[in-house]
Amino acid sequence: MQGVRLLGNEQIEIGEFQDPVPGPGEALIGLRYSALCGSELGAYRSSKPMAFNAGHEAMGVVVETNGTQALKPGDRVGVHAIWGCGQCNWCQEGKYTYCDKRRGTPGTHAQLLAAPEHALVKLADDIPDEVGVLLSGDGLGVPYHAAKRIGTQPGDVVVVLGVGPIGLGNTLMQSFLGTEVIAVDVNDRRLELARELGARHLINSRETDPIAAVKDITRGAMAHCCIECVGRSDALLQAFRLVGKAGTVMALGEQGDVPVNIGRDLIRQDITLMGSWFFHLSEYEQMAELYRRGLAVEKLVTHRFPLRDAAKAFAEFAAGRTGKVLLQMPE
Ligand SMILES: [Zn+2]
Ligand SMILES: [Zn+2]
């Protein structure tokens, strides 16, 4: 099969790889779409070459099964990026991110993928392919899971700090839930995308101080919640100052130590600091229901490239010129 190999230093190639063979309880998927994720950019920019690629959001059609219970050839399926052991209590509940023996998808920027049945979700006929990628991958799952954890109410003011793909997903989700979204970024193109996805206010933090601007918009009250999608300590520290008393700071950008002043930033403001990692495949049906009720998931995708143009796809994505980018696999 053909697939993407990350060579390091922002170089990639399309190579020939051995076809995967489905193990017991697994299905072989002929992938149709694989989405690029911001979490792959570390590997893309690193000087270390990879044996394969870090793609993990995909959908396709079952071509062969090896002892699966419900799946059969011809079924359209979405692939979940986190695979649990399938046995433990968390896995029984469909919460693979909590499984101690979890593992990641072995690269989906390729024509074929062998995956355990429990990591696949059968897509209903009314779910188009592109929507299926977003509902089973993290493009919408992360914002959905975070929204459930935050519990925002219609009318709340929510600052989305950083509107890369995850920030854009949060903008879409929060707007759909009826909150007033303030999008903050340094990239005007992405701010414009945020507006199209429902953001009511745009702040380019290169030109305008977000704290002063949010103070203005909220007449001094500051936001109810700030969703940090940058993954930098200065951004997380700024999030504490963008929310008002009893506000919520949701950390979605992965990072290490951040020097939070517990007294000033948390305790004396009654602030809730939360983290949220990924989502549960068991939440898929709830997300599909939101799509059926009008959540315009498909708007998150701004670019599509055939597999052979994967280098261009990565370059555009890494330059911050896109929303969600899909690679389309050759038949
Ligand atoms: Zn991802
Ligand atoms: Zn498990």
Domain-located, residue 284: no
Q: Do 77 and 27 meet the contact criterion of CB atoms below 8 Å apart?
A: yes
Distance 167 CA to ligand 1 centre (A): 13
* 16 occurs within a structural domain: yes
Which secondary-structure segment (H or E) carries 121? strand 120-122
Q: For the chain, what is the domain count?
A: 2
Which ligand minimizes its atom distance to the CA of 98?
Answer: 2
Domain extent, residue 51, equals 2-122+296-328
**Integer Cα distance of 19 and 111 in angstroms:** 9
234, part of any domain = yes
Q: How far apart are CA 253 and CA 312, in angstroms?
A: 25
pLDDT at 331 (0 to 100): 85
Instruction: Point out the ligand nearest to the CA of residue 164.
Output: 1
pLDDT of the residue at 252: 97
Convert the pLDDT of each residue in 160-194 to its tens digit.
999 999 999 999 999 999 999 999 999 999 999 99
Measured in Å, residue 49 CA sits from the centre of ligand 1 at 19
Q: What is the pLDDT of residue 200?
A: 98
Does residue 291 belong to any structural domain of this protein?
no
Residues in the chain: 331
Beta carbons within 8 Å of 154's beta carbon, 6+ residues apart: 177, 178, 179
Which pLDDT band holds residue 114 (cuts at 50, 70, 90)?
Answer: very high
Note whether 16 and 94 are same-domain residues: yes
Q: What percent of the chain has pLDDT over 90?
A: 96
Query: In this predicted structure, what is the pLDDT of residue 150?
Result: 97
Say whether pLDDT at 292 is over 90.
yes
100 and 60 in a common domain: yes
Residue 18 Cα to ligand 2 midpoint, Å, equals 28
The span from the CA of 216 to the CA of 209, in Å, is 11
The answer to whether residues 167 and 81 belong to one domain is no
Average pLDDT of the residues of the chain: 96
Mean pLDDT of 44-48: 96
Q: Which ligand is nearest to the CA of 99?
A: 2
Say if residue 267 is in the same domain as residue 316.
no
Q: What is the pLDDT of residue 173?
A: 97
CATH number, domain of 147, equals: 3.40.50.720
189-226: pLDDT as tens digits: 999 999 999 999 999 999 999 999 999 999 999 999 99
Residue 270 and residue 146 share a domain = yes
Query: At residue 137, does pLDDT exceed 90?
Result: no
- Residues 100 and 192 reside in one and the same domain: no
